[in-house]
Structure 1
């Protein structure tokens, strides 16, 4: 059985993160980034396999669980969170690493791969849209636009006051449950409610949406196309594996139209899985990663 060590790390970026680590420190490093509304537990079924031959680093990212929750939407800008990832690698003495990200963690992983190819050796994305492809689809694809209206809701700061106590139970049973393809109960449900109930956690998590610059038009709006969609966009130069649960109700298959942004691309589709595929269907996720060379 792989031993999981829970660490608390103070970073020069100004935040303290809870970090789960496993495996030998002299093994090739892999950093696992979770998304909304989770924690390092996203990877609970994946870590033991990877730790057999990797040094695994899985943080609770800023704003989540018991990690630091700096105040202000600007503290959740992608550049600051990418800086956390690089600082975390530095803390553990890791130079080059494989970066794996799901959901918002995948958004940060895309950004880190594009901005820091000197550090990110390989990239694995799990149900997380490429920034250019996502913004283009929000303008051009009406189905994706309709599926993304929750972002407009999450950016409304008036919802935060209702996300405490019984409001967290309602969030679990409605907003969260809508995107699940399996039942969450018992210890897993208790872990979510515990993490979400930490002071400031829900606002901090939602601030990731508020800090992003994605334009999400209303369903029938005649949306103006952001100028940067018609400018050159830097490619991802690393070997990249994209794993996609095809039953994802929030991120539709249009997100897999990744050429020419990712020249060295492998896509693994998991047909009977939804958005939270790392823990709903961990076996095919692990198999896809291993076939590809993680």
Structure 2
């Protein structure tokens, strides 16, 4: 398993961080998603850390990193701030951001707001929807809306008693159909199950969903944009951006890739057939090959 160092951020949050590779090499900051931890990126870090400084935190609410109480502490602005604070605390002046799932959703924001200063040089997104594209799909595409109903369960306080008594695992089983999913490495899964068992940590992880401004309509709501809808004030991304997408993802459908050109100027898309949502460890060789080509360019 990876060795973690405790890093105190300027905002008072402390993150456990896997920081490997030459300190003077170009920096890559890896952001994991729900319901995992920094080990999401184990194959990529081990592949790249002879050539790059690879920085993979357990994000706010995960592992033993800080987990303040209350969903208001998990709003996007605070989470994006953690990434820039981490770079500052480690003396990293410029970096490439790499994110999967919620870490990828965060990476879209880190890229959008860090590109102008040159702090963020490139972005890599793995199976994580652009917030503007995703929100439109939830209104207009009933298949994506149906696939995202688990988010409503994660936000529903009616499930809090279950989480408080048993941790995250029963809610995961209740809200998501795991039939036919690729199984994680047993040692990695054992660590995740141990982490999910802590109710305080489970609620912190769920707060990423509960603090999000993304609206997930119920299935009975009519299809189409509501009259009040307005495109978000989200900057277009001009830095080189690689999107790697497991086409078998049943939660985040391939339609999420189709409109990315509206929001990203310098876009490369690698569609990986036969891989599902957890592509960093489901198809590590293909992800690593895509990273090699992109980072070399």
Output the TM-score relative to the length of structure 2: 0.92
Distance in 1 between residues matched to 2:202 and 2:127, nearest whole Å: 22
Name the residue aligned to 2:206.
Answer: 206
Q: How does 1:163-182 map to 2 (within 5 A)?
A: 163=163, 168-171=168-171, 173=173, 175=175, 178=178, 181-182=181-182
- Counterparts in 2 of 1:232 and 1:166: CA distance versus 1, 3 Å: closer
Which one of 64, 67, 82 corresponds to residue 66 of structure 1?
64
Deviations 1:117-140 (A, max 9, x none): 121100000000001100011111
Instruction: State whether residues 162 and 171 of structure 2, in contact with CA within 8 Å, keep that contact through their aligned partners in structure 1.
Output: no
Gaps of 5+ in 2: none
Q: 2:94 aligns with which of 73, 77, 96?
A: 96
Taking the TM superposition and a 5 Å limit, the aligned residue runs for 1:177-256 are 178=178, 181-184=181-184, 186-198=186-198, 200-222=200-222, 224-229=226-231, 233-256=234-257
Q: Which residue is equivalent to 2:274?
A: 272
Q: CA deviation at 1:12?
A: 1.7
CA–CA distance in 2 between the matches of 1:41 and 1:161?
Answer: 29
| CA displacement at 1:83 relative to structure 2 | 0.4
User: In 1, are the aligned partners of 2:37 and 2:62 still within 8 Å (CA)?
Assistant: yes
Give the 3 Å change call, closer, same or farther, for CA 226–216 of structure 1 in structure 2. Answer: farther
Q: Which moved more, 1:4-13 or 1:58-67?
A: 4-13
Q: CA deviation at 1:46?
A: 1.2
Give 3-state SS (helix, strand or coil) of 1:46's partner. helix
Bigger mean CA offset, 268-277 vs 4-13? 4-13
Q: Deviations over 1:236-259 (max 9, x none)?
A: 111000000000000011100211
Q: Distance in 2 between matches of 1:88 and 1:176?
A: 32
State the partner residue of 1:262.
264
User: Which residue of structure 1 lines up, in the alignment, with residue 73 of structure 2?
Assistant: 75
**CA-atom RMSD, angstroms?**
2.0
What is the aligned partner in structure 2 of residue 8 from structure 1? Answer: 6
CA contact (8 A) 2:163 2:199 kept: no
Partner of residue 55, structure 2: 57
Pairs within 5 Å for 1:124-139:
124-139=124-139
Question: Which structure 1 residue ranges, 4+ long, deviate > 3 Å from structure 2?
Answer: 164-177
TM-score by length of structure 1 reads 0.93
Instruction: Sort the Cα spacing of 1:252 and 1:262 in 2 relative to 1 into closer, same or farther, 3 A.
Output: same
Shift of 1:167: 5.5
What secondary structure is seen at the aligned counterpart in 2 of 1:236? Answer: coil
1:176 CA drift (Å): 5.8
Structure 1 residues without counterparts, runs of 5 or longer = none
**1:165–1:224 CA distance, 2 compared to 1 (3 A):** same
Assess, with a 3 A threshold, how the Cα gap between structure 1 residues 208 and 166 changes in structure 2: closer, same or farther.
closer
Superposed counterparts of 1:277-292, under 5 Å? 277-292=279-294
Number of positions where the alignment pairs a residue of Structure 1 with one of Structure 2: 291
Kindly provide the CA deviation profile for residues 11-39 of structure 1, in whole angstroms up to 9, marking residues without a partner as x: 12221111011100000000000000000
Contact 1:241–1:267 under 8 Å retained in 2: yes
